[in-house]
Amino acid sequence: MSKLLIKEKEIVVPGEALAEGMDYLPGTGTYRLNDKIIAKRLGLVNISGRAIKLVPLSGRYLPKFGDKIIAKVTDITMNGWIVNINTAYSAFISMRDATSSFIKKGDDLTKYFDIGDYLRAKVVNVTSQRLVDLTMKEPGLNKLRGGRIIKINPQKVPRIIGKEGSMVSLIKKKTNCNIVVGQNGLVWISSENFDNELIAEKAVRKIEQEAHLGGLTDVIEKFLDKLMGGKK
């Protein structure tokens, strides 16, 4: 007879048995050992039907095809830019993927992106050797000018974005900021008004800290209303 050993939303540690019996299926972050399902990481349990999934509490970003991320230029090569994407492996943007404008032979590449610049890019390929290729040839993918970059726990990114972007658009609306959330845990915040920029950062930090709690959107809405006070 199959039996659940834990409750929904419980925090489990690696090696902890989550369920007994073959009726349950191991989802992401878990594996099967004999007839038991065991946790692979430290995280919250999510039971959906027969599948048991684990939402990790922390951990590095792993590049995935199609992710929109924020990258920092670390080096310039003959045919493109090497960028840091906040993961264990460095990524590459080739010249043809970086810009739609024509780059002449022997042109100075720092004219386009210099070392230290932040770019918004999309992952187009992750090889088995974990070489990551990026592209910027899509609307909305460009160099990020001005503003500030903050680093958050990559596992909390889904909470910052919210359901269909509800959370991030709430902050955008309330504080009048431009916000770009990269899947790799970098967030870019920019605003004409500096005080609003600061409030937006505080809101993002608060979400990161309280990501495991329910009803977060209401909490953040009240939080933002309080900080913004009467101003617009």
Partner 1 sequence: MDKEIKAHVQQLLKQDKRLDGRKLDQYREPVKVEYGIAKTAEGSAKVQIGETVVTAGIKLSIEKPYPDTPDQGGIMVNVELLPLSNPKFETGPPSINAIELSRVIDRGIREAKAIDIKNLCIEKGEKAWTVSIDICPINAAGNLFDAAGLAALAALKDAKFPKYENDEIDYKTRTTKKLALSQEPLPVTIIKIGDKFLVDPTLQEEKAIDARLTVATTPDGTVSALQKGGDEPLTIAEVDEMVKIALEKGKFLREKL
Which stretches of the chain bind partner 1, using CB under 8 A? 114-118, 144-149, 194-195, 198
Closer to partner 1 at the Cβ: 83 or 216?
Answer: 83
Residue 197 has φ and ψ, to the nearest 5°, of -60, -40
Closer to partner 1 at the Cβ: 114 or 225?
Answer: 114
Residues 155 and 58: beta-carbon distance below 8 Å: yes
Name which of 132, 109, 135, 106 is nearest 120 in CA terms.
135
Closer to partner 1 at the Cβ: 23 or 192?
Answer: 192
d(C-alpha 119, C-alpha 132), whole Å: 15
CB of 145 to partner 1, least distance (A): 7
CB of 227 to partner 1, least distance (A): 11
131 is written with which tokens?
């070489």
CB of 118 to partner 1, least distance (A): 7
d(C-alpha 152, C-alpha 93), whole Å: 24
Residue with tokens 């160099």: 143
Closer to partner 1 at the Cβ: 8 or 192?
Answer: 192
Per DSSP, the three-state class of 138 is coil
CB of 85 to partner 1, least distance (A): 15
Closer to partner 1 at the Cβ: 69 or 227?
Answer: 227
CB of 128 to partner 1, least distance (A): 27
Name which of 166, 163, 161 is nearest 204 in CA terms.
161
